[in-house]
Amino acid sequence: MAGSGGDTRVRDQEEQAMPFAAITYDIKAGYEKEISEIFRTFRRVGSPVVRDEAGGETARILSTAVFLRDATMVRLIEYEGDLDAVARHMARQPGVQEVERKLAPYLSRPRDTGTVEGFVATFRRSLLPCLAQMSVRDAS
Protein backbone atom coordinates (compact mmCIF):
# COMPACT_ATOMS: atom_id res chain seq x y z
CA MET A 1 0.00 0.00 0.00
CA ALA A 2 3.02 2.17 -0.20
CA GLY A 3 2.38 4.96 -2.59
CA SER A 4 -1.28 5.20 -1.60
CA GLY A 5 -0.97 8.92 -1.02
CA GLY A 6 -1.89 10.38 2.32
CA ASP A 7 -2.89 7.12 4.00
CA THR A 8 -0.46 7.37 6.92
CA ARG A 9 -2.02 4.45 8.81
CA VAL A 10 -0.86 2.10 6.04
CA ARG A 11 2.64 3.55 5.98
CA ASP A 12 2.82 3.33 9.78
CA GLN A 13 1.87 -0.36 9.66
CA GLU A 14 4.49 -1.05 6.99
CA GLU A 15 7.20 0.54 9.13
CA GLN A 16 6.68 -2.11 11.83
CA ALA A 17 9.09 -5.08 11.69
CA MET A 18 6.28 -7.65 11.59
CA PRO A 19 3.06 -5.71 11.34
CA PHE A 20 -0.51 -6.78 11.74
CA ALA A 21 -3.46 -5.80 9.56
CA ALA A 22 -7.05 -6.09 10.77
CA ILE A 23 -9.81 -6.21 8.18
CA THR A 24 -13.46 -5.73 9.18
CA TYR A 25 -16.55 -7.40 7.74
CA ASP A 26 -20.07 -6.13 8.45
CA ILE A 27 -22.03 -9.32 9.15
CA LYS A 28 -25.71 -9.96 9.75
CA ALA A 29 -26.04 -10.91 13.42
CA GLY A 30 -27.21 -14.40 14.31
CA TYR A 31 -25.21 -16.39 11.74
CA GLU A 32 -22.19 -17.26 13.87
CA LYS A 33 -22.60 -21.01 13.32
CA GLU A 34 -22.82 -20.67 9.53
CA ILE A 35 -19.85 -18.33 9.37
CA SER A 36 -17.79 -20.58 11.66
CA GLU A 37 -18.47 -23.46 9.26
CA ILE A 38 -17.24 -21.39 6.31
CA PHE A 39 -13.90 -20.82 8.04
CA ARG A 40 -13.70 -24.38 9.37
CA THR A 41 -13.46 -25.61 5.78
CA PHE A 42 -11.20 -22.77 4.57
CA ARG A 43 -8.51 -23.74 2.04
CA ARG A 44 -5.21 -22.14 2.98
CA VAL A 45 -3.34 -19.93 0.54
CA GLY A 46 -1.04 -21.81 -1.80
CA SER A 47 2.07 -20.15 -0.42
CA PRO A 48 2.76 -17.63 2.33
CA VAL A 49 5.37 -16.03 0.05
CA VAL A 50 4.10 -13.08 -2.00
CA ARG A 51 5.99 -12.47 -5.24
CA ASP A 52 5.98 -9.65 -7.77
CA GLU A 53 5.70 -10.11 -11.54
CA ALA A 54 9.47 -10.69 -11.80
CA GLY A 55 9.34 -13.45 -9.17
CA GLY A 56 10.96 -11.44 -6.40
CA GLU A 57 9.63 -11.83 -2.86
CA THR A 58 7.73 -8.71 -1.78
CA ALA A 59 5.97 -9.97 1.34
CA ARG A 60 5.17 -12.98 3.52
CA ILE A 61 1.96 -13.89 5.29
CA LEU A 62 3.05 -15.10 8.73
CA SER A 63 -0.30 -15.88 10.34
CA THR A 64 -4.00 -15.13 10.16
CA ALA A 65 -6.94 -15.35 12.54
CA VAL A 66 -10.65 -14.55 12.34
CA PHE A 67 -12.77 -13.14 15.17
CA LEU A 68 -16.55 -12.76 15.25
CA ARG A 69 -19.04 -11.23 17.65
CA ASP A 70 -22.56 -10.14 16.84
CA ALA A 71 -22.44 -8.12 13.60
CA THR A 72 -18.67 -7.63 13.37
CA MET A 73 -16.06 -10.00 12.02
CA VAL A 74 -12.35 -9.17 11.95
CA ARG A 75 -9.63 -10.98 10.04
CA LEU A 76 -6.17 -10.41 11.51
CA ILE A 77 -3.14 -10.86 9.27
CA GLU A 78 0.45 -10.85 10.51
CA TYR A 79 2.79 -10.14 7.63
CA GLU A 80 6.19 -8.89 6.53
CA GLY A 81 6.67 -6.58 3.56
CA ASP A 82 4.23 -4.77 1.30
CA LEU A 83 0.62 -4.90 2.53
CA ASP A 84 -0.73 -3.96 -0.90
CA ALA A 85 1.09 -6.98 -2.36
CA VAL A 86 -0.44 -9.15 0.39
CA ALA A 87 -3.92 -7.92 -0.58
CA ARG A 88 -3.30 -8.65 -4.28
CA HIS A 89 -1.92 -12.10 -3.40
CA MET A 90 -4.95 -12.92 -1.25
CA ALA A 91 -7.32 -11.70 -4.00
CA ARG A 92 -5.91 -14.37 -6.34
CA GLN A 93 -6.18 -17.28 -3.90
CA PRO A 94 -8.97 -19.79 -4.67
CA GLY A 95 -9.64 -20.38 -0.96
CA VAL A 96 -10.02 -16.67 -0.26
CA GLN A 97 -12.30 -16.24 -3.29
CA GLU A 98 -14.40 -19.17 -2.07
CA VAL A 99 -14.74 -17.68 1.43
CA GLU A 100 -15.76 -14.30 0.00
CA ARG A 101 -18.47 -16.00 -2.13
CA LYS A 102 -19.75 -18.07 0.80
CA LEU A 103 -19.83 -15.04 3.12
CA ALA A 104 -21.85 -12.91 0.68
CA PRO A 105 -25.32 -13.99 1.95
CA TYR A 106 -24.32 -13.15 5.54
CA LEU A 107 -22.94 -9.67 4.87
CA SER A 108 -24.95 -6.63 5.92
CA ARG A 109 -22.77 -4.52 3.60
CA PRO A 110 -21.75 -6.14 0.29
CA ARG A 111 -18.05 -6.40 -0.55
CA ASP A 112 -16.78 -5.97 -4.12
CA THR A 113 -14.18 -8.75 -4.12
CA GLY A 114 -14.85 -10.42 -7.48
CA THR A 115 -11.81 -8.82 -9.13
CA VAL A 116 -8.30 -8.16 -7.86
CA GLU A 117 -8.92 -4.40 -8.08
CA GLY A 118 -12.23 -4.68 -6.22
CA PHE A 119 -10.69 -6.94 -3.58
CA VAL A 120 -7.78 -4.55 -2.97
CA ALA A 121 -10.11 -1.52 -2.78
CA THR A 122 -12.38 -3.37 -0.32
CA PHE A 123 -9.33 -4.50 1.67
CA ARG A 124 -8.18 -0.88 1.99
CA ARG A 125 -11.62 0.40 3.04
CA SER A 126 -11.97 -2.39 5.61
CA LEU A 127 -8.53 -1.89 7.16
CA LEU A 128 -8.55 -0.87 10.83
CA PRO A 129 -5.75 1.42 11.96
CA CYS A 130 -3.22 -0.31 14.20
CA LEU A 131 -2.97 1.76 17.38
CA ALA A 132 -0.28 -0.36 19.02
CA GLN A 133 1.44 -3.69 18.68
CA MET A 134 3.97 -5.46 20.85
CA SER A 135 5.87 -8.67 20.41
CA VAL A 136 8.58 -10.57 22.25
CA ARG A 137 10.44 -10.36 18.93
CA ASP A 138 10.70 -6.59 19.50
CA ALA A 139 12.32 -6.95 22.95
CA SER A 140 16.04 -6.26 23.06
For the chain, give every domain's residue range. 8-130
Whether the pLDDT of residue 12 is over 90: the answer is: no
**Mean confidence (pLDDT) of the chain:** 87
CA-based torsion, 115, 121, 124, 127: positive or negative: negative
In the prediction, which pLDDT does 104 show? 97
Q: Please tell me the predicted confidence (pLDDT) of residue 45.
A: 78
Give residue 46's pLDDT. Answer: 79
Mean pLDDT of 133-139: 75
The CATH number given to 8-130 is: 3.30.70.100
pLDDT category of residue 101 using cuts at 50, 70 and 90: very high
Residue 6, pLDDT score? 43
Predicted TM-score of the model (pTM) = 0.81
Question: What tens digit of pLDDT does each residue of 43-63 get?
Answer: 887 789 999 999 999 999 999
Mean pLDDT of 107-134: 94
pLDDT over 90 at 102, yes or no: yes
Confidence check: pLDDT of 11 > 90: no
Task: State mean pLDDT over 15-28.
Answer: 85
Please write down the long-range contacts of 125-129, taking CB distance under 8 Å and 24 or more positions apart. 126/23, 126/24, 126/25, 127/9, 127/10, 127/21, 127/22, 127/23, 128/22, 128/23, 128/24, 128/74, 129/9, 129/12
